[in-house]
Amino acid sequence: MGYENVIFPKETKFLVTGAAGFIGSNLVEALLNMGYQVRGLDNFSIGKKENVEEFIDNPNYEFIEGDIRNFETCLSACEGIDYVLHQAAWGSVPRSIDMPLLYEEINIKGTLNMMEAARQSGVKKFVYASSSSVYGDEPNLPKKEGREGNLLSPYALTKMANEEYGKLYTKLYGLDTYGLRYFNVFGKRQDPNGVYAAVIPKFIKQLLNDEQTTIYGDGKQSRDFTYIENVIEANLKACKATHEAAGEVYNIAYGGREYLIDIYHVLCKTLGKDIKPIFGPERKGDIKHSNADISKAKEVLGYDPEWSFERGIVEAIEWYRENL
Ligand SMILES: NC(=O)c1ccc[n+]([C@@H]2O[C@H](COP(=O)([O-])OP(=O)(O)OC[C@H]3O[C@@H](n4cnc5c(N)ncnc54)[C@H](O)[C@@H]3O)[C@@H](O)[C@H]2O)c1
């Protein structure tokens, strides 16, 4: 279980794109703690300088401020790199509905630039962030790779496009790509601010500040909330995967299912708050239920997540208490 036994030679060099963001900065931290060489890339369009400054004094860390929309930047970022962990993108379904053109530019063109740069640089593996949103309106649970519905947002379309390019890059050019379909990740450094913030950090921050929170819909929507440590494990195990396992996509989740309203009550109880939420209209592009079948990642990548929602939320709350 976990990733303690996933070991690379000490001189191994990783590139983490989106290094100033939530998942990217956690990957950087884990890799540096394991003693590897890490290069981060981010343009700070969403990510924060403090997520880079925290690690920049580590001699094994090097950071490039740059944009994945610029191919030359991607090429220099890939120079001398063994493994690319590509996280840079704009997230959020509702924001993508507001700004479809930007999503095309950043998420599709940017990812294609990164894949092409990785190919030209001869990197060993290209592991990239996809998303459970690619399941669209497919109603059956659990969600299973190969059983996708109609897409519901430009964001989902960009992730699907990434996956198609990923498959092509393996087939046409022999670049080992692995698409990780993350399901609602949560944990330290996830941004609680702004209208497009993810629910868990948003709820925690509002409760800590004694503010009322808005739940869109009836609160009975469910998600497979996935603690960040499981996502780190998946990325490292994908780097160790075989060539036969490349050109494929994998659900990365815990395999559980939490209802939003229950999470709200758990947070109220843990934080000692008695604040009633406001219920707003359902949001366009949102799906009602999501829960992952993770058997493919388990069988093929050896993914074996050890952080349940209950275990992860305790650590996450502790971090927000100390850092907000
Ligand atoms: N957090 C989740 O629950 C979740 C779920 C599914 C998929 N994902 C995917 O995982 C990846 C990381 O997500 P996150 O939650 O850490 O998001 P995040 O917004 O915290 O991090 C993304 C980072 O990418 C950077 N970035 C954006 N555009 C860039 C560009 N043009 N050039 C360089 N850097 C750029 C941002 O500044 C930011 O630091 C994304 O691809 C996202 O779509 C996340």
Please list every protein residue whose CB sits less than 6 Å from any atom of ligand 1.
18, 20-24, 42-47, 67-69, 87-91, 106, 110, 129, 131, 182, 184-185, 198
What is the C-alpha separation between 101 and 171, in angstroms, rounded? 28
In a domain, 96, yes or no: yes
CATH number at residue 126: 3.40.50.720
Is there a domain that residue 58 lies in?
Answer: yes
pLDDT band of 283, cuts 50, 70, 90: confident
Identify whether 219 is part of a domain: no
Residue 208 domain-assigned (yes or no): no
What value does the mean pLDDT take over residues 282-303?
94
Q: What is the pLDDT of residue 228?
A: 98
Q: What is the pLDDT of residues 9-31, one digit of tens each?
A: 999 999 999 999 999 999 999 99
* Domain-embedded: residue 7: no
DSSP 231-272: HHHHHHHHHT--STT-SEEEEES-S--EEHHHHHHHHHHHHT
pLDDT classification of 324: cutoffs 50, 70, 90:
confident
CB 229 within 8 A of CB 219: no
User: For the chain, what is the total number of helices (H) and then of strands (E)?
Assistant: 12, 13
100: in domain = yes
Please state the atom number of ligand 1 nearest to the C-alpha of residue 155: 43
The string of pLDDT tens digits covering residues 164-210 is 999 999 999 999 999 999 999 999 999 999 988 999 999 999 999 99
DSSP states of 97-130 as a string? HH-HHHHIIIIIIHHHHHHHHHHHHT-SEEEEEE
User: Which of 45, 53, 78, 157 maximizes ligand 1 atoms within 8 Å of its Cβ, making it the mutation to test the pocket?
Assistant: 45
273: in domain: no
Give me the active site residues, please. Answer: 155
Q: What is the pLDDT of residue 2?
A: 85
- Cα separation of 271 and 263, whole Å? 12
What average pLDDT score do residues 304-324 get? 96
The verdict on residue 200 lying in a domain is no
Per-residue pLDDT for 285 more than 90? no
Spatial distance between the Cα atoms of 233 and 254, rounded to a whole number of angstroms? 12
Mean pLDDT, to the nearest integer, of 117-136?
Answer: 98
Write out the residue range of the structural domain in which residue 108 sits: 13-184+226-255+293-306
Compute the distance from residue 234 Cα to the ligand 1 centre, in Å.
16
Protein residue with its CA nearest to atom 26 in ligand 1: 88
What does the alpha-carbon distance between residue 182 and residue 275 come to, in Å, rounded to a whole number?
31
Residue 279 DSSP symbol? E
Mutate which of 28, 43, 101, 130 to test ligand 1's pocket (most atoms within 8 Å of Cβ)?
A: 43
The total domain count for the chain is 1
